[in-house]
Amino acid sequence: MWIYEKKLQYPVKVSQCNPHLAKLLIEQYGGADGELAAALRYLNQRYTIPDKVKGLLTDIGTEEFAHLEMIATMVYKLTKDATKEQIKAAGLEEHYVNHDLSLFYQSAAGNPFTATYIQSKGDPIADLYEDIAAEEKARATYQWLIDLSDDPDINDSLKFLREREIVHSQRFREAVELLKEYQGQKKFF
């Protein structure tokens, strides 16, 4: 089971109402390399992965939900007090006619979230290499978001999230090393 804690992992502040930036950030909410995909990928893999790696997948998967909440907070704060004029100027009319200002799991280009963003091969090495790649892709996405955003407070939170991808990738690389070991095997050669 999961327990909710009523706090963000890292503070999120927004300098100004900017619905266009929210439109870009939604990539990390419901995009292919976003936080939802990451959380679901790791928490799904853990059932069939060798025991040594179950804890890591559970913990990183859980942390990803904390990151999802940070992205949601940014999107919410950037759009909450937007006027109809600002919504139109930001190109959010298509979103507005379907969703008002409620959040939706989609990419920045408007593609709805799909389970096909996530692979599940059941081969521990293949699965962990997917995880390493996912972390590096998410790191890159945060870089491109920082490049396009001129909100210093948002960039502060995005830099935190980018750094987390680097640490997660490190841990998945270590997990691969653990799986290479013979230690604890019943059958010796």
Partner 1 sequence: MKKRKPNPYRDQYRVWYPFHSPDDPCPPIAKQYVVPPNQFLGFQPPNLPQFSKHEALIKGTLWPIFYSPYPPKKWRDKDGT
Partner 2 sequence: MEHEKRRALLRKLQEVDFVLVELNLYLDTHPSDLDALDQYNHCALEREAIRSEYEERYGPLMHFGHSSNRYPCGWNEGPWPWEI
Residues designated catalytic? 35, 64, 67, 135, 165, 168
Query: What does 8-48 look like in DSSP terms, one character per residue?
Result: -SS----SS--HHHHHHHTHHHHSTTSHHHHHHHHHHHTTT
Torsion of the alpha carbons at 79, 81, 86 and 87, rounded to the nearest 10: 50
68 is an interface residue for partner 2 by CB under 8 A: no
Q: Which of 73, 86, 120, 143 binds partner 1 (CB under 8 A)?
A: 143
Minimal distance, residue 12 CB to partner 1, in Å = 13
C-alpha separations of 164 from 53, 83, 149 in Å: 19, 34, 19
Minimal distance, residue 104 CB to partner 1, in Å = 28
50 is an interface residue for partner 2 by CB under 8 A: no
Beta-bridge mates of residue 112: 106
- Please provide residue 155's backbone torsions phi and psi, each rounded to the nearest 5 degrees: -60, -35
Minimal distance, residue 5 CB to partner 2, in Å = 5
- Please provide residue 106's backbone torsions phi and psi, each rounded to the nearest 5 degrees: -150, 165
Query: Given the rule CB under 8 A, which residues bind partner 1?
Result: 10, 136, 139, 142-143, 146-147, 159-164, 166-167, 169-170, 173-174, 177
Query: Given the rule CB under 8 A, which residues bind partner 2?
Result: 3-12, 55-56, 59-60, 63, 69, 72-73, 76-77, 167-168, 171, 174-175, 178
